[in-house]
Structure 1
Amino acid sequence: MTQMVDHLPRPRLRAAALATAAAALVALTTGACGGPSDCCVKAPTASPSPTSPGGVPGAAWAYPSQAMSLRVRAGTDFDIVLRPGAGAGPEAGKGSGGGSRWQVNAPKIEGIAVRHRTGSAAPDEKGGVRATFHAVKPGTARVVLTEAGSDRTMTYQVTVVTGPGAAPSAAPSATGGGLDRGRTLDAGFAGGPGGEVTVRRGERFSLPNAYSNVPGITWRVVSRSSSGPVPLLSDTPHVEGNAAGDRKDWYTFSADQVGTTEVKLFGCYRCADGSTPETAESRAHSETRSVRITVR
């Protein structure tokens, strides 16, 4: 008997085997997992949730509105807090806080290192408003807030870093000071022609400078009599009120001799060194106040 020989081409067998293996692989990667989107395709990584520098989700550092340079860590949130009286700058005279509010719903941001969290202009627990921003990535940015109904602005230079940020500087606390203020007078420093007071010789007395410190203004004595009829006893005033909002700085004098003298204060609007206007806007909103003191 003649033996029958299988003459099927071997390449066709190899092709059939490969097709079977491919089918098995498809079944393994689809049917067994419920489809590619179920478990076999890696899901995209979610963006990290904003956290405070301390790692607390949803928390943010709160910088007082008077601040000018902020240093924050990439990936974290930070707030700029505007206290009541935001619209009462130095030109408002008495710092009543009754001026317009700063517009924070759509701040101007120059640079891509920082973005505003839309709808974040929420009421602050102390009656003001806080606007929340997110430090996107290392770099620098300028955040500009504009006063509603005005072209007056507050500019913040923001540096975003990979390491630790810089904790917000607390607004100076209201302090009683250690100086005997003597008699406190209602009349005090004023703009324009200034204020006028008359006191008795030998009297110690204090005069107020009332203003809102929300936008950020620094006062310093620029003209005074160090001896003469009415020496100023200290350049450091006694502070009353909300140091981050409406406040009164009291300056204390001694009526040593009969005569008249004038004392001037210069209020520097958002000045980095507290004394020298660096921009046209700073020069426009800085002001000088004075008081004329007569001793009889």
Structure 2
Amino acid sequence: MIRRTATAAMLALLVAGCGGGSAVSDLGTVVKGAKGSNIRVELRSGQRFSLAVADNPSVGDNWDLVAVPDPKVASFISEEHKRTGDGVGAGGTTYFVFNSKRPGTTEIRLRDCWRCGQATTPPDEQSRQQSGEAVFAVTVK
């Protein structure tokens, strides 16, 4: 009985150490963007990188990956959120994590649909004015 309990405990520890959240520990090369920005990014093949945008969901920010990049050039891994403070309404940064693949170019667009909730388009004029995209032209060499 003790052996079975110890084996179960070891298995639980192994499972807890794998998977979920592993991308957070390695964001790779971080490239910052913002609404209205056009950023050029040059990477080596096989390099992990993150596209980072400041956000604050409590005021209405909602960043999304508009379209997956050319999978031959870069593959999407995960979306990670890190808060900058512990207080209510604290903002932070959203990281879109990728791996570069083969040489080539691709465009990655991130969109902040401000105060859109679950909708994909801004619900009113104020939301349209505050929404925007960050565009990243990625070249893998």
State the TM-score, normalizing by the size of structure 1.
0.36
Contact kept in structure 1, 2:35 and 2:131, CA below 8 Å: no
Cα displacement (A) at 1:182: 4.8
Q: Output the CA distance in 1 between the equivalents of 2:105 and 2:34.
A: 17
Cα displacement (A) at 1:193: 4.5
Structure with greater Cα Rg: 1
**Matched residue count:** 118
Cα displacement (A) at 1:246: 2.4
Q: Output the CA distance in 2 between the equivalents of 1:215 and 1:222.
A: 21
Contact kept in structure 2, 1:261 and 1:294, CA below 8 Å: yes
Contact kept in structure 2, 1:190 and 1:291, CA below 8 Å: no
Cα displacement (A) at 1:220: 1.0
- Structure 1's 227 and 295: CA in aligned 2 closer, same or farther, altered over 3 A? same
Contact kept in structure 2, 1:229 and 1:256, CA below 8 Å: yes
| Structure number having the greater strand percentage | 2
Q: 2:51 maps to what in 1? A: 207
SS at match of 2:127: helix
> Which residue of 245, 250, 268 maps to 2:113?
268
> Which residue of 208, 222, 225 maps to 2:66?
222
| Structure number having the greater helix percentage | 2
* RMSD, matched Cα: 2.3
Cα displacement (A) at 1:251: 1.2
1:248 aligns with 2:93: yes
Cα displacement (A) at 1:221: 0.9
Cα displacement (A) at 1:287: 0.9
1:280 aligns with 2:122: no
> Identity of aligned pairs, percent?
28
Contact kept in structure 1, 2:37 and 2:133, CA below 8 Å: no
Task: Provide structure 1 residue ranges, at least 5 long, that are not aligned to the other structure.
Answer: 1-175
State the TM-score, normalizing by the size of structure 2.
0.71
Paired residue type of 1:253 = F
Q: 2:36 maps to what in 1? A: 192
Paired residue type of 1:287 = G
1:213-246 CA-partner distances (Å, limit 9, x unpaired): 4421111111232512112123xx1111248322
Contact kept in structure 2, 1:218 and 1:274, CA below 8 Å: no
Q: Output the CA distance in 2 between the equivalents of 1:262 and 1:240.
A: 24
Q: 1:239 maps to what in 2? A: 81
SS at match of 2:77: coil
The higher relative CO (CA closer than 8 Å, separation ≥ 6) is in 2
- Structure 1's 198 and 283: CA in aligned 2 closer, same or farther, altered over 3 A? same
